[in-house]
Chain A
Amino acid sequence: MSQSTIFLVINSTIKFKAVSSMTKTKRLLTLFLRFLAIGATIAAVIVMVTSHDSSEVFNLTFTAKYSNQQAFKYFVIAEAIACAYSLILLFTSPQNSLWRLVMILDVVIAMLLSSSVSAALAIAHVGKKGNTHAGWLPICGQVPKFCDHVTGALIAGFAAAIIYFLLIFSSLYSAQSSLFPLN
């Protein structure tokens, strides 16, 4: 009976040592993904904010800025919130007792990002193709630089949303395997 308990204790300590280096790799992966997310959100914010173009049509100046559309403003605000959240997490790196709160906030921010990208994509689609039923003409023909900028910002925002989802999965995976080290 004592032999089996000694065997079990040794077995569990060996596996624990092996797993603690594995959890370090997983934690590094999560940190790396967070860094990537910061980069993607900053890129999206900057590209969207610097998008403006103007053209002259029949002696009327037609300026297009990102702040003319509500959806683009929402996009910038959501990406900025996600960027600030990631920066705060990266620099404070909270204790292990708060990891559940961090995971819940990760899910909320990922949903915010996905909804903002989708909203901006919907409005940009109307801008590019128009909507004949509502009588809305496409504007991309007059302000092509604005359209290109918005496309770039949308791609960066989409990448940020994907990275956030990968982050959720990776932190789920690392949290689960650290809870069951004998798995």
Chain B
Amino acid sequence: MASEDGEKVEHGLNEVPEKKPKKKDWVLLSLRVIAFLATASATIVMALNKQTKSFVVATVGSTPITATLAAKFNQTPAFVFFVIANGNASLHNLVMITMDVFGSQYDYKGLRLALIAILDMMAMALASAGDGAAAFMSELGKNGNSHARWDKICDKFETYCNRSGAALIASFVGFILLLIISVMSIIKLLKPNRINHNASP
């Protein structure tokens, strides 16, 4: 209330302050909830992605020597970055949801919408980078690379590959939703009738 009056006095144009009741943007809020669920599930599925398998490496006489190999997400830096980026995106969505639900009257010097738009874009940049890296790394694991003599690993660790594929799909859904949210935030930031003023240049 005080900041609204301060804004109008600063612009010095309004004689009668029109106070529109602040409508809650349900579309944006529901999109944020879905994006939060998508990115959080991607983080959790990838972070708990582990598969151990024992291979018969050699046979000495009649006893086979087995070696157990484990495939974990933290063996690949791309997947580690994927988990970090999606964790950051889901945390960002959670913070935005709570700010929207509980703190919709705080406006830090009129910079609230700008801050939301910029933070949305930063979270989206990290999420896009994580998605791209993990997508191509898992494609490398699935198909291998004959030119560089890199064997594919998905035929041995099928569950690992399937789970990381599911995490990737959830992360892509979250990223597209985050893109839509960010575009909506930018459009909300640049709406011309954001401040009530009568005279237009």
Chain A interface (Cβ < 8 Å from any Cβ of B):
8-9, 12-13, 15-16, 63-65, 68-71, 74, 100, 103-104, 107-108, 110-112, 114-119, 121-123, 125-127, 131, 133-137, 139, 165, 168-169, 172, 175-176, 179-182
Q: How far is the CB of B182 from chain A (nearest CB, A)?
A: 7
Do A172 and B186 touch (CB < 8 A)? yes
Closest B residue, CB atoms, query A138: B148
SS of B interface (majority): helix
Q: Given the complex of chains A and B, what is the CA–CA distance between A25 and B11 in angstroms?
A: 24
Q: Which residues of A contact B13 (CB under 8 A)?
A: 8, 182
Q: Given the complex of chains A and B, what is the CA–CA distance between A68 and B135 in angstroms?
A: 17
Asked if B189 lies at the interface with its beta carbon under 8 angstroms from chain A, I say yes
Asked if B174 lies at the interface with its beta carbon under 8 angstroms from chain A, I say no
Q: Given the complex of chains A and B, what is the CA–CA distance between A71 and B140 in angstroms?
A: 9
Q: Which residues of B contact A125 (CB under 8 A)?
A: 77-78
19 example contacts (A-B, Cβ-Cβ < 8 A) are as follows A8-B12, A68-B148, A69-B145, A70-B140, A71-B136, A74-B132, A100-B190, A103-B190, A107-B183, A110-B125, A115-B132, A118-B129, A121-B133, A122-B77, A123-B140, A131-B75, A137-B150, A168-B121, A179-B192
Q: How far is the CB of A177 from chain B (nearest CB, A)?
A: 11
Q: How far is the CB of B111 from chain A (nearest CB, A)?
A: 11
Do B147 and A63 touch (CB < 8 A)? yes
Q: Given the complex of chains A and B, what is the CA–CA distance between A112 and B124 in angstroms?
A: 11
Closest A residue, CB atoms, query B144: A136
Pair count A-B, CB < 8 A = 128
Do B128 and A114 touch (CB < 8 A)? yes
Q: Given the complex of chains A and B, what is the CA–CA distance between A126 and B189 in angstroms?
A: 41
Among A119, A134, A165, max chain B CB count under 10 A is at A134
Among B118, B132, B179, max chain A CB count under 10 A is at B132
Among A65, A71, A119, max chain B CB count under 10 A is at A119
